[in-house]
Amino acid sequence: MRDCGEDGRASSKQGDVRGSFRKRKTADRRQQTAVSVGGSAEHNIQFATMWHENILGTIGNTPLVRLNRVAADLPCTVLAKLEYFNPAGSVKDRIGLAMIEDAERSGQLKPGGTIIECTSGNTGAGLALAAIARGYTCIFTTTDKQSQAKNDVLTALGAEVIVCPTAVAPDDPRSYYSVAERLSEEIPNSFYPNQYNHPANTQAHYDTSGPELWEQTDGRITHYIAGAGTGGTISGTTRYLKEQNAAIKTIGVDPFGSVYYKYFHTREFDENEIYPYATEGVGEDILAGNMDFDLVDDYVRVTDRESMQMTRRLAREEGLFLGQSSGMAMAGALQWLEANGETLKVDDVVVVLMPDSGFPYLARTYNDEWMRRHGFLEAESSMTVRDVLAQRELSVVSVSPEATLADVVATMTEHGISQVPVFNAEGHAVGSLTERNILSRLVEEPEARSHPVKDVMAAPFPIVEADITVEGLSAYLGNEAGAVLVKAGEANQFHIVTRSDLIATLAKAGRQAEAV
């Protein structure tokens, strides 16, 4: 789906490369201006004004703010590094400019060029700002997991946005990685930064984030805690800090469903760790080239529920209006600090990276209905998916992507079901089929009976927690698929709940209530 695409090529005039953020900031214009007060010469006042040559000059030097309530029980000082003070609202502004400057120096990015990148939203916004200032156009691929608000920001900044499915393998041609790479090969005079592997990503944080933390804490920082996606922020910042003081500890925070936590502790890439999760912009289903695990001292992981609730708590208790990954980082920080409390001293200074603002998440994390629907807030009803599961057999009938459509029809007929999930050999949910889309396909193309499922399947059924309320479940079941997968406690183990299952449970509950 392309949300925009009507604007033409940008001007071929590009700005001069100014090097590091510090060099650029010192190049900002300063001018002495005479202002007449009262109309007489003796009242002339000389004062200095300072401005930036363009919006890029405002990137970096974000503030540190002490956390006074959520960390009140800890003996040490805990500070939040507030990256939403960057002009596009996130830490990714730093790397957007850095990757473009590097491409200009190397000749990869030429006047009038097109920047093509896969992004969860924030890197795209940072690249878009730099593209506006430098005279380029942008095409971004993103996933259907990301909030519409993030896509709207990219569109507002003049970019074209292509939404790709989340629940596909990274090397699947439909993945947002693959689509971005393909477009960069097809579109002339284009540049694909590939933030996951671009060394300028890590270097930007070595040049800016690390020095800022060292200077802002007067060298007193003892712990640095951050989430990781591309790995550039945690790796570049840590590399600089450990060069100043090797005793500084870095703790990574990962969401459940990402591979980083287990890889750090075992050095094993386990595909069974990969499953959909709600927290946006953090964690990965790949090992990013910029992620240097050898720099990290420990890793913890946090559930979606903990991340969302901490995000809202930071707003209520600290006045910090932050995004989901900030809540995740803070929840992980408290988890690690409380578990290692005996090692903490009064003069320790802990910095937690807060990557972005809460505005893109107004319709999600800061919306009570969305939070209840996903089981992140207690709901008015006490009935949950567990009650629905208790009324039915828990076996799940599934099919393989390599099976034919004829095989699926036979399976559904044998078991008397109207929808079926598609699992690959590793047990990952990669698609779904329903009576409706099978019928539609066969009417249009009778020979499709011999086609493999992977060519005709729809998106996977939504995946929910077992403690989600029936109100939240009904919102999911209102979609075309009419079914959800329920996490069974172990990686890639699921139950399935359908619309008819919910109706049966509610009907039984109603009969029991009448009998009382």
Strand partners, 49: 31
Burial of 229 per CB tally in 10 Å (0-12, 13-18, 19+): buried
Distance CA 238, CA 215 (A): 14
Beta-strand relationship, 483-487 and 463-464: parallel
Of residues 269, 268, 260, 131, the one with CA closest to residue 193: 131
Spell out a b/e string for 239-249, using b for 16 or more CB atoms within 10 Å of the CB, else e: bbbbeeeeebb
- Mode of pairing for the β-strands spanning 190-191 and 114-118: parallel
Q: Which residues, in sequence order, are CB contacts of 78 under 8 Å at separation 6+?
A: 66, 67, 71, 333, 337, 350, 352
Q: What is the DSSP letter of 80?
A: E
Q: Rounded to whole angstroms, how far apart are CA atoms 387 and 435?
A: 26
Active-site residue list: 92
- The residues near 294 (Cβ < 8 Å, ≥ 6 apart) are none
**Would you list the DSSP string of 214-228?**
HHHTTT-EEEEEEE-
SS3 content of the chain, % helix, strand, coil (to 5): 40, 20, 40
Burial class (CB in 10 A: 0-12, 13-18, 19+), 37: exposed
**CA pair distance 228, 275, nearest whole angstrom:** 17
DSSP E strands in 125-281: the ranges are 137-143, 160-164, 190-191, 221-227, 249-255
How many CB atoms within 10 Å of residue 83?
26
At 409, list the tokens.
């029809």
Distance separating alpha carbons of residues 482 and 420, to the nearest angstrom: 11
